[in-house]
Structure 1
Amino acid sequence: MTRYAIDRARGALVAQWSIGIGETATTVADLPPALPRHELLRLSAGLTRLSHACWRCYTHPADVADHQGPGSLGWHRQQERDAFGTVLRLLTTAGRSVPPPAGTRVQEAAHTVGRALHVLGSPALTARITGDVAAELDAVERAELGDLSERAAQAVALSREDASPSQVSQADRLLRRHPFGCDALFTRLDPTAAAIAAAHWLHAAVVVTADLTRIHPAQIVAAADQHAKPLAFESLTEVVGVLGRGGRPRQVVMSLIRNALHVGEGHLRGIIDARHRINAAERLIGTVHAEHPELGIGADTVPLPLTPLDPGRPAPDLLENLLHGIQSCWRLYERYVALHQPRGGTVEGVRRQRLRRAFLIAVREEAGLRRDQLL
């Protein structure tokens, strides 16, 4: 989403958003020095809130809600999306309507911005803000169609409850060229779609590594976790386990991301899964307490993670984990060959390049054999 701020040094309203590997900013309007600072801050806060409400229509599309029909979650989401058509009018008429429009967060945020513009009383500023909000709405609409260019590029930093098949195909093509990942996966594509493709390629890398080493896939994932961030092991295990049982990448990736999005909004989805987590934590606490009673570890002293992903950015977080898993499969593959080659020692120079090429060829072949599971 776009964040708005007042640059006091330049006397300007600026807009800033993430583009995957950094942030970009643009000047929305120069501000006359006579305008009250408090109202300008209210305006910037309202614009940020409006952007958040609009982009939530992208990350939480109506057609993937669990329930549809009048009064349902899907219905409310569609109401938010339909409110896009009223936003620009509210920016210029809010000063003439005392109560805010009932119903949607999009309209309430637009009304807040319109009221701030009315109080500031600058037609030139209102025109610039209206143009910028129109560009923001257009960016959301283009992102919904899979076009993540220019201002719509901020979608690459968001986690969506759905993924475009065309974006998944683009990610698959990128991974075929760069199985260990590349910047384009983070800067050109929706991270949910990229994670679906990366899950497919991780499974291929695990299969190739397991065929060579005769190590169980779960142990391969455990080895891959040696240098990973906390909880990466759990998400990688879930992905490899589901795909090993014949599941599809979309199925497991969407489940992980949706659960994390629910946790991020303060909801716990899946009582059975939560019960399993609590039981596992209690067993671990009991074991540690029995072996080290001096530590004083109890049920109230150990944090219980509700999701293996970062709730604030679950799709990019999962994508990072999956690419780490692919790279770790290569490191395990290489170590195995180094330990079992006739001369012993390490794989170096030209031999390492040949081995790496052989690994990538095998992974590409394996991924190609299972491509029907991806799309």
Structure 2
Amino acid sequence: MTRYCVASDRHELIATWGTGEGDLASSIAALPVGVDTGRLLSLAQALTQFSSAAWSTYTHPASAADSLEPNGEGWRREEERKGFSEVVDAITRPNLPSGGSIVVSYSSLLESAHRVGRALHHLDDPQLVKAVAAEAAVELAAVESAELGDLSGRAQQAVLLSREDASPVQVAAADHLLQQDPFGPDELFIGVDPTAAAVAAAHWLAAAADVAAEASRLNPTQVVLEADNIEALPHETPTLVLGLINDGVPPHDVVTSLVRHAMHVADGLLPDPTALREALEDLEETLAEYTGDDEPDLTDVALRLTPLDPKRPARDLLEDLLTGIHGCWLLHSEYDDLDHDEEPDTDDVEEWDDEQAEQHENRSRERFAQLVRNTAAHHRDRLI
């Protein structure tokens, strides 16, 4: 989301937002002179809350809800998104106290806009009202742009957000980047929505696992776990994703369900109490076998509610999936004889200098990458 602040030395209202490479800032308007700083900060805080509410319609779209039935979660999200058309009016003509009471909107977005309007009302500066209304329109346009899969301009801040759904445009963009570099280029973290990038990365991880499995004669669902014996890897999440894809779950559904679950945990919700109960029972059984106690003490035992970092689930998942692809290459390079047949001096590997070792690794990675490209293309229907 965009954060708003008061530049006290220049007496200006400033907007700042992240891009994946760092933060950008823009001057919104000059602030009235001689006004109490607290009132200026109230305006900045209200605008930040407004931005958070606006971007929440992007991260929690109606398309990701289980139902669009009236008064259900999907219906509520649709109604919240419809509020975009009323924001400027709420800012310029906010609900004000009357007779000791005030009308409060059920919409988080519109109520945040009314708070911005009330903060402006206290400042009594028509030019500032005009500038802030224009700024709100810019912010809403950035959300709309991100919804369409265009992360240019201020919409680029979407690369730092986790979304419960994935734009087909953004999935295609991530897939194109992975075709160029199946190990995951830096551009995935700079110009692509992380949920969409993770959907494409899950597809490419499955292709990499197939390549590694063919070379190692292992089950594709176990290759990242096996690669952990070569190099320490965060193998739990890639292995979970590979198992679900192997069971026929599309990459889109695998990724969005994991991200949505973690986002619910971050919101303080328990999405699946039944699954938690089963996990606790499994934990008790494991501890009982380990300790020999029929009723093991769980006082100091922690159980993860989600395999992802709830503060940044989509980005965390993307990182784990790309690490999984790296693990597939590690395993492939251990087993694939063709990688070594091209090297004239493989019997003297210990005598290679750094340049020779680097050349060998680059050839191994490129051969593996091409095999993964071929496999990913063969199973492209899995991604679409």
Q: Which moved more, 1:2-11 or 1:200-209?
A: 2-11
Q: Deviations over 1:140-176 (max 9, x none)?
A: 1111111111011111111111112222112111100
Aligned residue for 1:17, secondary structure, equals strand
Aligned residue for 1:94, secondary structure, equals coil
| Aligned partners of 2:55 and 2:143 also within 8 Å | yes
- The partner residue of 2:148 within 132, 145, 148 is 145
| Aligned partners of 2:181 and 2:369 also within 8 Å | no
| 2:364 is the alignment partner of 1:343 | no
Pairwise CA distance, 1:269: 1.2
The residue number in structure 2 matching 1:177 is: 180
CA distance in 2, matches of 1:288, 1:33: 70
Aligned residue for 1:194, secondary structure, equals helix
- The partner residue of 1:237 within 236, 239, 245 is 239
The residue number in structure 1 matching 2:327 is: 328
The residue number in structure 2 matching 1:52 is: 52
The residue number in structure 1 matching 2:232 is: 227
| Aligned partners of 1:69 and 1:75 also within 8 Å | yes
Q: Deviations over 1:167-193 (max 9, x none)?
A: 211211110001111122112111111
Aligned residue for 1:343, secondary structure, equals helix
Aligned residue for 2:93, secondary structure, equals helix
Letter in 2 for 1:332: L
Letter in 2 for 1:30: A
Q: Which moved more, 1:314-323 or 1:342-351?
A: 342-351
Q: Which moved more, 1:282-291 or 1:254-263?
A: 282-291
Aligned residue for 1:13, secondary structure, equals strand
| Aligned partners of 1:6 and 1:13 also within 8 Å | yes
| 2:372 is the alignment partner of 1:363 | yes
CA distance in 2, matches of 1:62, 1:177: 33
| Aligned partners of 2:63 and 2:165 also within 8 Å | no
Aligned residue for 1:156, secondary structure, equals helix
Relative to structure 1, is the Cα distance of residues 200 and 97 closer, same or farther in structure 2, using a 3 angstrom cutoff?
same
CA distance in 2, matches of 1:47, 1:309: 30
Relative to structure 1, is the Cα distance of residues 336 and 9 closer, same or farther in structure 2, using a 3 angstrom cutoff?
farther
Aligned residue for 1:16, secondary structure, equals strand
Mapping 1:168-317, distance limit 5 Å: 168-225=171-228, 226-228=231-233, 232-286=234-288, 289=291, 298-317=297-316
Aligned residue for 1:100, secondary structure, equals coil
Q: Deviations over 1:294-336 (max 9, x none)?
A: xxx9412122210011112211111111111111222232244
Letter in 1 for 2:249: G
Relative to structure 1, is the Cα distance of residues 100 and 178 closer, same or farther in structure 2, using a 3 angstrom cutoff?
farther
- Percent identity, please: 44
Q: Which moved more, 1:97-106 or 1:346-355?
A: 346-355
| Aligned partners of 1:175 and 1:201 also within 8 Å | yes
CA distance in 1, matches of 2:288, 2:221: 25
The residue number in structure 1 matching 2:79 is: 79
The residue number in structure 1 matching 2:123 is: 120
Pairwise CA distance, 1:31: 2.3
CA distance in 1, matches of 2:146, 2:115: 25
Aligned residue for 1:26, secondary structure, equals strand
The residue number in structure 1 matching 2:353 is: none
CA distance in 2, matches of 1:245, 1:55: 34
Aligned residue for 1:14, secondary structure, equals strand
Q: Which moved more, 1:305-314 or 1:326-335?
A: 326-335
CA distance in 2, matches of 1:248, 1:335: 29
Aligned residue for 2:94, secondary structure, equals helix
Mapping 1:157-172, distance limit 5 Å: 157-172=160-175
CA distance in 2, matches of 1:298, 1:44: 50
Pairwise CA distance, 1:218: 4.0
Mapping 1:17-32, distance limit 5 Å: 17-32=17-32
Letter in 2 for 1:85: S
CA distance in 2, matches of 1:303, 1:39: 45
Matched length: 367
Pairwise CA distance, 1:71: 1.0
TM-score where L is the length of structure 1: 0.91
Pairwise CA distance, 1:88: 0.6
Pairwise CA distance, 1:252: 0.8
Q: Deviations over 1:338-370 (max 9, x none)?
A: 998762746824433332221111111111110
| Aligned partners of 1:100 and 1:108 also within 8 Å | no
| Aligned partners of 1:94 and 1:111 also within 8 Å | yes
- The partner residue of 2:135 within 132, 136, 151 is 132
CA distance in 2, matches of 1:362, 1:127: 57
Pairwise CA distance, 1:372: 0.5
